[in-house]
Structure 1
Amino acid sequence: MRILAGRSIATRLVLSSLFWSSIVLVLAGLILSALYRQTTERAFDDLLLVYANDLAAQLVSPDPEKREGSILGDPRFEIPLSGWYWQVGRVEATQRDMRSSRSLVGNTLPSLASSAPDRPFGETRKDGREGPEGRILRLVERDIDLGEDGRYVVRVAGPSDEITATVTRFNTALVVTFSLLGLGLGLSTLLQVRFGLRPLSELRRSVSSIRRGEADRIQGAYPGDVAPLAEELNLLIDSNREILERARTQVGNLAHALKTPLSVIVNEAGETAGEGADRIREQAMLMRDQVDYYLRRARTAALAGTLGVSTEVKPVLEGLVRTFDKINRGRGVAISLSCPDGVRIGGERQDLEEMAGNLIDNACKWAEGAVAVEVTVHSLRERAIVRIAVEDDGPGMPEAARSKALKRGGRLDETKPGSGLGLSIVVDLAGLHGGGLMLETSGAGGLRAVLQLPGDRGE
């Protein structure tokens, strides 16, 4: 379970299926191998018993020539030390009283009978014993009572390694067969898992389409156990949209409620002369900037990470470049743009316009003749990172002053227009979107502002 923790459902299903299938196949293989060995040994013993019965039949034959003649036509009993042997002799007989196959070449077969004097006579015994030249034999021994002619013991033996070789061939075939069977089971399990989990993959793609803004709801028909989940997700998306719509309405109402009184105060102060009126007008303008700042921040915080919201970067920057190019045409400031097609960020268009617009506006204020906007895409931990660099050829900014410029209201030069909120707004908006802003020295000696934002996951 620790190995499977954190893995996908498909991986867990496939690995668990392969694990238990392997256990079942191994156990089945061991059982079949044991059963086949028992069957092979039983068949081998039955063959030896057939030979022993033939010998016994010849012993009880009334025909003396048949009793003394050649017995068992199997040629393996004629080959010296072949492992196939038979031996017939009286109970407690000497070696001269025994008859044996030519393959024994003067050797004797071990006895399986108990040495106890009261052992039962007439039984058939089977077991393995060491024979000539240390070879392990499978031995069958049978007692024969011929009445007045005495009691005899018939022994027939065959090599145990033939049983082992047969079982080994069977085990090899079994391993190959079960390996192919296991491979087939693994492939069929993989196909079943992929087919069974396909509705979840389709659901994931539908949710991804909603997050990228390509769809409004989860569409399509799903199996009965997945359809309730899709419906719940649709309800969650609808509820999220309603909450965001209410947040937009509240922010708009608050903006209208505050801006109108402030505009009245500014207008009244403008119609009144004197130092007090100027101070009132200045503070009212500052209040309006602060209200705009916090309203934008509240709006962005409410919309940050919203499902189904993404923005293509290039059209927004092209519109901003055209606007600021017209505004600064009289100052001789040229604005260039380098941005690949199709680059998207997760967030609304207004937020990107706010952040990039503040950076371009700030660069145009300080530039002597050129402003460059460049967009690049990088990968960080399997996530696309969009970097928007805005640089100018102005006087630049000392490193010690850069941290102050990023703070709210931090103005380094009072001769330039503005409230000192531009860069701080960019910092706050970028932070709400999971990005950031860095200030560097440009190649022309001016300031280079690098806005870093997470790219849309569909990229």
Structure 2
Amino acid sequence: MRRSSLATRLFLSATAWVVVILLITGVILSSVYRDATERAFDRRLNLYLRTLVAEVATPDEPPDRQFQSLGEPLFELPLSGWYWQITRTDTEKDDVRASRSLWDKKLPKLEDHGAELSAAGIRQGYVEGPEGQTLRMVERPVDLGADGKFLVDVAGDASEIFDETRNFDYYLGGTFGALSIVLVLTTIFQVRFGLAPLKRISDAIADIRSGRAERLEGEFPVEIAPLARETNALIDANREIVERARTHVGNLAHAIKTPLSVIVNEAASHSSDPFAEKVLEQADVMRDQVAHHLERARIAARVTIVGTVTEVGPVVDALRRTMEKIHRDRDVAIEVSAASNVMFRGERQDLEEMVGNLVDNACKWAASRVFIEVLPNGATEPGAAPMLRILVDDDGRGLSEQERAQVSRRGQRLDESKPGSGLGLSIVTDLAGLYGGSLTLGHAPIGGLRAELLLPAA
């Protein structure tokens, strides 16, 4: 699975936080508004309750006009959801007076529903009404001494609270939805344009790796400019290290080859001496070893250079013409099939050395034909760099598996009659490995040996 980009992760993180914060804020605001609506409703009920308590405590009005001062028409409308009820509790008989709206029903007692008396001597809570609706109810016990004990209840339809809260939630949800869209768009804008300089640096580094540029150029924001400067300084330091390594490798080559030449010359002047023959033999081995390891050091220093790219087609065509001249006496036909615009991520002379060794080896062993094919190979696996393939086939006798394993080892030769030191395929293998590629030997469709070179592409 591919990793998400920094911009995507920042956007998702910011969006998630926005959604979480808005949800928490919405829940808090909805709860606060519900409490406020409930308190306002309770104040209205308490006003009616105090009026009823005053009527009970001072029954100056005639019974037919008592409790007419509430001023709420809903108390007169049957089963309207607004009710009051006064129950005498110090007698055994059922002495209840109620609003006309209650009709022949009765209100339940809050005490039976577990409601506790508050500091003001009032109970309040939700109960089920006569018609099954939910009522918000306040209840107060009144002790008039010799005049009796009463329980005064006032209830109102709680749908007013629920409707108000639900409408507020709708408006709140719409407002927060619009706000979420605005915040998400703002976040997208900030992430896209805020990270644009980093995208420019990423593209510039890709150009450097592909050889289209040598340094990070252009103006960058103050926060990003130090990164660009340090990256350019790192590239310059890398080039200086590579140049010093090349210089040291050259100096070492001269320092070692000169004493070896003296040893060889002195031994050659005593060719009849068995000891001198042994010295010559070991000096040749030392010379091959020195050449091999110096070449590896030179290559390792060179492949660290950033941004070197070589087009493969022209290199292969030039090698074809050179090899045709070198092997003119063998009358070997060299054919080339190269895809256009295939680029090798490395130096031209290294590509010439690898392909040249393979083509030269094929020409030595071919009967009459050598075929070279250059193919883009794409990425070998997700997230990996693209590769290219160079196939070199000949129509010679080919090699068995054991022989292919033998010739891949440094200095191993199957036929001493053929010119060479036996280091060619070993150098190709080492050089390809330093570039992150590989060399594979197999059977060619035209009958002989196939050498398949896999290299990084640009």
TM-score exceeds 0.5: yes
- Report the equivalent of 1:3: none
Range that drifts further, 243-252 or 156-165: 156-165
Residues 22-421 of structure 1 mapped to structure 2, 5 A cutoff: 22-52=19-49, 67=65, 76-87=74-85, 98-111=96-109, 126-132=124-130, 135-141=133-139, 155-257=153-255, 290-376=289-375, 377-381=377-381, 382-383=383-384, 384-421=386-423
Query: TM-score scaled to structure 1, two decimals?
Result: 0.81
Alpha-carbon distance between aligned partners in 2 of 1:48 and 1:13, rounded to the nearest angstrom: 52
Cα deviation 1:282-307 (Å, max 9, x = unaligned): 88777655544332211011122332
User: Taking structure 1 as reference, are residues 94 and 395 closer, same or farther at Cα in structure 2, changes over 3 Å only?
Assistant: same
Superposition deviation, residue 431 in structure 1? 1.2
Provide the alpha-carbon RMSD of the alignment.
4.2
Q: Give the Cα–Cα distance (whole angstroms) in 2 for the partners of residues 236 and 181 of structure 1.
A: 46
Contact 1:122 1:142 in 2 (8 A): no
Q: What's the CA shift string for 1:101-155, capped at 9, x where partnerless? A: 33312122345689xxxx9999665433343255431123568999999998754
Does the 8 A contact of 1:266 with 1:284 survive in 2? yes
Mapped partners of 2:285, 2:95: distance in 1: 132
Instruction: Assess if the C-alpha contact under 8 Å between 1:122 and 1:144 holds in 2.
Output: no
Paired amino acid for 2:32: L
Tell me if the contact between 1:126 and 1:139 (Cα under 8 Å) persists in the aligned partners: yes
> 1:327 deviation in Å?
2.8
Partner SS for 2:222 = coil
Aligned mate of 1:444, from 443, 446, 454: 446
Q: What is the Cα deviation at residue 55 of structure 1?
A: 6.3
**What amino acid sits opposite 1:350 in the alignment?**
Q
CA contact (8 A) 1:124 1:141 kept: yes
Structure 1, 66-75 or 11-20: larger mean CA deviation: 66-75
User: In structure 2, what residue type is equivalent to 1:399?
Assistant: E
Tell me, in whole angstroms, the C-alpha distance in 2 between the residues paired with 1:200 and 1:76.
70
The verdict on how the C-alpha distance between 1:385 and 1:120 changes in structure 2, with shifts beyond 3 A counting, is: closer
Closer/same/farther in 2, CA of residues 274 and 148 from structure 1, 3 Å limit? closer
Using the TM superposition, name which of 306-315 and 90-99 deviates more: 90-99
Change (3 A) 1:78 1:313: farther
CA change 1:196–1:32 in 2 (3 A) is same
Instruction: Name the CA distance, whole Å, in 1 between partners of 2:109 and 2:411.
Output: 110
SS of the residue corresponding to residue 166 of structure 2 reads helix
Code of the aligned partner of 2:230: E
How much has 1:406 moved relative to structure 2? 0.5
**CA distance 1:98–1:259, change in 2 (3 Å):** same
AA paired with 2:395? D
CA-CA distance at 1:425 after TM superposition: 0.7
C-alpha spacing 1:122/1:196, structure 2 compared with 1 (3 Å): closer
- Once structures 1 and 2 are overlaid, which stretch shifts more, 269-278 or 355-364? 269-278
Per-residue displacement from partner, 1:413-449 (whole Å, max 9, x unpaired)?
1121111111111011111111111100011110000
* 1:365/1:279 CA distance change after superposition, 3 Å: farther
Q: Provide the rounded CA distance (Å) in 2 between the counterparts of 1:310 and 1:121.
A: 88
| Conservation of the 8 A alpha-carbon contact between 2:242 and 2:304 | no
- Quickly say closer, same or farther: Cα 1:336–1:61, change in 2 above 3 A: farther
Q: CA deviation at 1:410?
A: 0.8
- Does the 8 Å CA contact 2:59/2:66 hold for their aligned counterparts? no
* Overall identity of the aligned pairs, in %: 51
